[in-house]
Copies of this chain bind each other. A is one copy, B any other.
């Protein structure tokens, strides 16, 4: 049975995304395709498509761009009841999609956004977490501003107090962290409140100072330092070209390593948000108490599938992901 009784809360910034069409370089563009996205909201949207109830908490500008962003989340079925508003701007990013060996590029333009100006008492987390089972955050949020870090930490404490499970995608972004704190000062407290971690070796080192030769040893060391952490997972990507990647994933649960199947991704339609699709796949498995191996396979297939979908968000049903896991109808024409 797919989880209508389950409810997942996500928190983080949603940006307007302005993409150059047809692999154009940004200097060639006369018309940007526009949509919205943000790591945590992408996770919520993907979970919604899997049949899970979700609410995304964020702060938008009071203008038409904020209204449009809310409408976008609503169209995906994500709950928007706790979104708040402020006079600041909408964060946005420009995307140039690479081709062949030429890499893709994101120009972020997210400073001084309505979200970054969030502060401690703006969200009533106790109200938000009513009926909720799960809270998800990423390492982007505490990197944005002191206010965002505090509100996210408030959420973590409230979530743990209410008995929610917590997942965190420790996503170290070097270009953020400009408000005077370092990740190493801030992140350990976040990790100490998190059950399921998604992170690579470098993320773990940058956020907790814990190192390792590979993810297995990093995870082992993390498990020692943070007894609350239940699992550490990560995708592994090989980039053959901008439109041809290979992906697989691994999950470490205390004492056991799970390794997923590998997917050939070619040609990629859109690789933005594929990590979020993986995250949503993991949460969907855990929330339904699937076996770790099944959860990991599902999440990896979800990640792979997202590469075929335009935009930040994975549009896929559980049935579609399971069909990919079974290699059914690969690339066929279904009538």
Contact = CB atoms under 8 A, between A and B. Distances in A.
- The quantity of this chain's copies bound in the complex is 6
A40 interface: no
Contacts of A239: 330-332
Given A18-B32, A22-B310, A267-B243, A103 B335 contact: no
A309 B335 CA distance: 20
A33 B34 contact: no
A305 B101 contact: yes
- Report which residue of A29, A96, A101, A335 has the largest number of chain B beta carbons within 10 angstroms of its beta carbon: A101
A308 interface: yes
Interface string A57-78: 0000001110110011011110
A263 interface: yes
B27 A315 contact: yes
A77 B71 CA distance: 7
Given A32-B34, A173-B335, A239-B331, A308 B26 contact: no
A329 interface: yes
A271 B99 CA distance: 13
Nearest to A245: B331
Contact of A335 (B71, B100, B175): B175
A16 to B, nearest CB: 9
Nearest to A89: B109
Contacts of A308: 23, 98-102, 242
A34 B29 contact: yes
11 contacts: A18-B18, A25-B310, A27-B67, A64-B105, A71-B76, A74-B77, A98-B332, A99-B267, A99-B308, A100-B267, A245-B331
